[in-house]
Amino acid sequence: MIFEHIENNGHEQVVFCHNKDAGLKAIIAIHNTVLGPALGGLRMWPYKTEQDALNDVLRLSRGMTYKNAVAGLNIGGGKAVIIGDPSKDKSEALFRAFGKFVDSLGGRYITAEDVGIDVNDMEYVYRETEYVTGVHQVHGGSGDPSPFTAYGTLQGLMATLNKKYGDEEVGRHSYAVQGLGHVGMEFVKLLKERGAKIFVTDINKDLVAHAVDEYGVEAVAPDEIYDVPADVYSPCALGGTVNELTLPRLKAKIICGAANNQLANNAIGDEVMKRGIVYAPDYAVNAGGVMNVSLEIDGYNRERAMRMMRTIYHNLARIYEIADRDGIPTYRAADRLAEERIAAIGKLKLPMGRTAPRFLGRMRGH
């Protein structure tokens, strides 16, 4: 049953990690290492069943293969989950036990923060293995990825404006930004700097008030964001907001934002195309965070990170070319770009050593 599941998803290796004394039950899924070591975050979640945890880690690690491939990184896809409640089951021993398992893989899997994990947890993981990104900046970590994600989203937006309107002038168009968190607020700032008309919403009233005061945006209630007369709908909060109920309400001709899993399902993605709306595939647009963290592998440099964000423009342009070439929706074209790149690089049969982590100049935390 388990092998069938793994085979269907195309995974290379799935590691079940158990340490009784530390209370560790974790699964590390390495989906694909053709492009390089598998990089993907560690999630801690009180899964109802072990099967739920397995399903999640298999799905998420496969997603990382596609995301890293489209981002143009020499990095494969992986992910890890710890079964437990982040509000009460965390301990030094738990994360160090997990770190030992990561280390035992010799760099085939590099971990990072994800839901339920913070930089302090990563400090413990880092005591046992150097195959960690997203550690504290004092250890050469890259810090908060959100400004990079926002800037990368802006690059993706410009490529999408070019596709839809034949211009890249952000300020000539209007925007509906949903979510004013770490990424959304920064994105609003970037749009405002370019003179755009912006509608915003958030369930957090303080954030809305801040955006209105600081950037002179127009605030609407959370459910009204789908009805505003904006050219671009920019989901920067939750997943699944492009669905059967919201799509008929959207006036926008472009969907481009940082949120993960924006399309409720593939059928909606097909419908988006039928309606002549250009959808900027979420995992290509919001790759700024993973690009940023990937630079830790060779020694982090902020300037390099900002330059790297600009490649998101070209990645999106390439996705639109493939969509036109093959007559397929953009969400499928993004997957195709990833698959074509993995196939082409796989044929070169490069040894993984070229991209193995070196973590230059980094002092171990103990």
* Contact window for ligand NAD (CB under 6 A) among 257-265, 301-309, 325-333, 338-346: 257-265
Q: How far is the CB of 188 from ligand NAD (least distance, A)?
A: 11
Q: Do residues 174 and 252 lie in contact, with contact meaning Cβ atoms separated by under 8 Å?
A: no
For residue 129, give every residue at least 6 positions away whose Cβ sits within 8 Å of its Cβ, in sequence order, or none. Answer: 99, 100, 102, 103, 111
Closest approach, Cβ 191 to ligand NAD, in A, equals 15
201 is an interface residue for ligand NAD by CB under 6 A: yes
> Considering only 81-89, 254-262, 313-321, 353-361, which stretch makes contact with ligand NAD by CB under 6 A?
254-262
Does the annotation count 79 as an active-site position?
yes
Rank residues 169 and 223 by Cβ distance to ligand NAD and give the closer one.
Answer: 223
When asked if residue 156 is in the footprint of ligand NAD (CB under 6 A), the reply is: no
Among 105, 207, 232, 333, binds ligand NAD (CB under 6 A): 207
Footprint (CB under 6 A) of ligand NAD, residues 218-247: 222, 236-238
Q: Which of 239, 203, 240 is nearest to 221 (CA)?
A: 203
- Contacts by residues 46-51 (CB-CB < 8 Å, ≥ 24 positions apart): 46/83, 46/84, 46/85, 47/81, 47/83, 50/25, 50/83
User: Sign (positive/negative) of CA torsion 103, 107, 108, 113?
Assistant: positive
Q: How far is it, in rounded angstroms, from Cα 263 to Cα 204?
A: 23
What is the three-class DSSP state of 71? coil
Residue 107's contacts (CB-CB under 8 Å, 6 or more residues apart) are: 37, 131, 356, 357
Name the segment binding ligand NAD (CB under 6 A); options: 58-66, 158-166, 175-183, 189-197: 175-183
Residues paired with residue 30 on neighbouring β-strands, in sequence order: 13, 78
In the complex with ligand NAD, the residue whose CB is nearer, 201 or 246, is 201
Task: Select the residue whose beta carbon is closest to ligand NAD and give its number.
Answer: 181
Pick the catalytic residue from 25, 79, 163, 253.
Answer: 79
Stretch that binds ligand NAD, among 20-28, 51-59, 119-127, 200-208 (CB under 6 A): 200-208
Whole-number Å distance between alpha carbons of 338 and 68: 8
Site for ligand NAD in 23-82 (CB under 6 A): none
Task: Please answer whether residues 134 and 142 qualify as being in contact, where contact means their C-beta atoms are separated by less than 8 angstroms.
Answer: yes
Q: Note whether 146 binds ligand NAD by CB under 6 A.
A: yes
Task: Closer to ligand NAD by CB, 64 or 183: give it.
Answer: 183
Of 108-127, binders to ligand NAD (CB under 6 A) are none
Among residues 28, 99, 63, the alpha carbon closest in space to that of 261 is found at 63
Q: Tell me the catalytic residues.
A: 79
Which positions touch ligand NAD (CB under 6 A)?
145-146, 149, 178-184, 201-204, 207, 222, 236-238, 258-260, 286, 289
